[in-house]
Structure 1
Amino acid sequence: MAESMPVRCPACLREHLYAAPSYPCACGAPVSPSLDERAPATAVTHRVWDEQWVTVRCAACGRGDQWPHPELGCPCGTVLRIPVTRPAPDTRPTDPRTKDAQPPPGATKVPGALRTPRSSARPRRAFQPVTIRTARDAVTAAALYLRWLGYQDIRRADQRPPSGVGLAARGVLAQVDPTVSPASLRDIECLWLTAMTESSDCVYFSLAGYEDEARARAENLGVPLFVLDLTGTPQPVNSPADDLDATGV
């Protein structure tokens, strides 16, 4: 069970009992942020991208991943950032059998990883969505989904898109549109052109869907389109998105 602790709102002094959320590690084990009971909760007055993520280390495999920083909404209207402790480094001994291991014949060696065909990989766990209530929730849902697909080190994109929020990871550029207007042809083409200049793939997430011309253009360009439903589960709406959802990266 995830740990919980009392949290006092600094604005109205109301006390809450907060339980840390659990997220699925790539190994399948649930992980939760370690809460710091010695530090007070702080009010969120403005958003800084780096402060919205926290590294959580899996006790089962030692893997450290970034997940949304725990927050709590007080009835008085204040959003509270819950204090967490830094994860301890993974000090488990390395298996000597894996030292200086060479890739199998036919495999492609990439920096920091050994890429293998999807057919030989362990089946992915079911995607664990987060309910979308705010624009930030939509961005979080898209980031979690990209991580579930296999992308790592997800961050805010260096170049801001014409609308919505840009996310980036190694090999992919994503745009999240949390507005109530369908994504336009221009939105799709701008994302595709930006991704081309960075030699990366691209993915589009929208809450309100897509105009017909945008969907047709995305199909021709091979841009995966997803609609975010309010449960936080991205739904593929074209064939490139179907393929990406089925296989991951």
Structure 2
Amino acid sequence: MAESVPVRCPACRREHVYAAPVFPCACGAPVRAPLVRGAAPVPITHRTWADEWVSVRCLSCGRQDQWPHPELGCPCGTILRVIVRSVAAGPCEGAPQAAPPLHIPLPPTAPAPRPAFHPVTIRTARDAVTAAALYLKWLGYRDVRHVEPHNGAAVGLHAPGLVARVEPSTRRTTVRDVETLWLSALAESVVPVHFSLAGYTEEARFRADTLAVPLFVLDFTGTPQPVNSPADELVTTGGGD
């Protein structure tokens, strides 16, 4: 499960919940830079090559590689470098000291790294749906389209090979919501994905793990955060064709 930490922007004092992106190790296991809880982020005013990379060790095979340093874009316009524990830099550094490689190490069959996701600030329910749709496109799904809800139901998103549900209200997603989405996806032989603004009940998260339904929480910056292992896997592998 993704580890999320609170990150407060020093420019506007807005607090975000952030989880580091996942990258694929050469052994196939997902790799995530370990975040330092409570460490103040560093505003990026200029960039250097060394600052863009961080050394991370794969917990599955022990391989050490250089990966892009986690960053967070605040709606106020400030770009923040989130503090991580770098294998090369020590227990609490903002950037690695070791010279980075000339390329990002990827397994031979891995796709090219995706560009950074550009979120939209969530102010309305429609913004939440738009943020989820943009994220699915970023993951690789094409022709994402909205399906108008009926009887107050959550908004649906459909794409080839995918059915998604977006709950933009302040109601926590329940186990019944997860099961309904899973049954819909099962009937169409597609992947189910759920987005929620208010989060999930404990029963819903447990059931989603059992059914392998990826769950994401939308923060108000418009950046979906994975909250279970199926979601982590989807972020790693991407979607679509």
TM-score by length of 2: 0.52
Given the superposition, is the C-alpha separation of residues 158 and 193 from structure 1 closer, same or farther in structure 2, using an over 3 Å criterion? farther
Q: Partner residue of 2:199? A: 209
Which amino acid is the alignment partner of residue 163 of structure 1?
A
Equivalent residues of 1:151, 1:169 under 8 A apart: yes
Which amino acid is the alignment partner of residue 126 of structure 2?
R
Q: Distance in 2 between matches of 1:194 and 1:224?
A: 14
Q: Partner residue of 2:161? A: 171
Q: Partner residue of 2:115? A: 125
Q: Distance in 2 between matches of 1:195 and 1:241?
A: 16
Is 1:145 matched up with 2:158? no
Given the superposition, is the C-alpha separation of residues 199 and 159 from structure 1 closer, same or farther in structure 2, using an over 3 Å criterion? farther
Q: Partner residue of 1:18? A: none
Q: Deviations over 1:86-137 (max 9, x none)?
A: xxxxxxxxxxxxxxxxxxxxxxxxxxxxxxx994422101111000000000
Given the superposition, is the C-alpha separation of residues 119 and 127 from structure 1 closer, same or farther in structure 2, using an over 3 Å criterion? farther
Is 1:225 matched up with 2:215? yes
**Any residues of structure 2 matched to 1:177-196 within 5 Å, and which?**
177-196=167-186
**Any residues of structure 2 matched to 1:59-78 within 5 Å, and which?**
none
Which amino acid is the alignment partner of residue 164 of structure 2?
A
Q: Distance in 2 between matches of 1:192 and 1:186?
A: 10
Q: Distance in 2 between matches of 1:146 and 1:161?
A: 25
Q: Distance in 2 between matches of 1:190 and 1:231?
A: 28
Equivalent residues of 1:161, 1:191 under 8 A apart: no
Which amino acid is the alignment partner of residue 146 of structure 1?
L
Give the RMSD, CA atoms, in angstroms.
2.0
Given the superposition, is the C-alpha separation of residues 186 and 167 from structure 1 closer, same or farther in structure 2, using an over 3 Å criterion? same
Q: Distance in 1 between matches of 2:133 and 2:151?
A: 16
Q: Partner residue of 1:199? A: 189
Q: Partner residue of 1:34? A: none
Q: Distance in 2 between matches of 1:163 and 1:203?
A: 16
- Of structures 1 and 2, the one scoring higher in RCO (CA 8 A, sep 6+) is 2
Which amino acid is the alignment partner of residue 134 of structure 1?
T
Q: Distance in 2 between matches of 1:193 and 1:159?
A: 17
Q: Distance in 2 between matches of 1:237 and 1:198?
A: 25
Q: Distance in 2 between matches of 1:188 and 1:172?
A: 15
Q: Distance in 2 between matches of 1:133 and 1:193?
A: 31
Q: Distance in 2 between matches of 1:234 and 1:226?
A: 6
Which amino acid is the alignment partner of residue 210 of structure 2?
N
Equivalent residues of 2:149, 2:155 under 8 A apart: no
Q: Partner residue of 1:136? A: 126
Runs of 5+ consecutive residues of structure 1 not aligned to the other structure: 1-116
Given the superposition, is the C-alpha separation of residues 125 and 118 from structure 1 closer, same or farther in structure 2, using an over 3 Å criterion? farther
Q: Partner residue of 1:51? A: none
Identity of aligned residues (%): 61
Which aligned runs of 4 or more in structure 1 are off by greater than 4 angstroms? Answer: 158-162
Q: Distance in 1 between matches of 2:155 and 2:108?
A: 30
Which amino acid is the alignment partner of residue 141 of structure 2?
Y
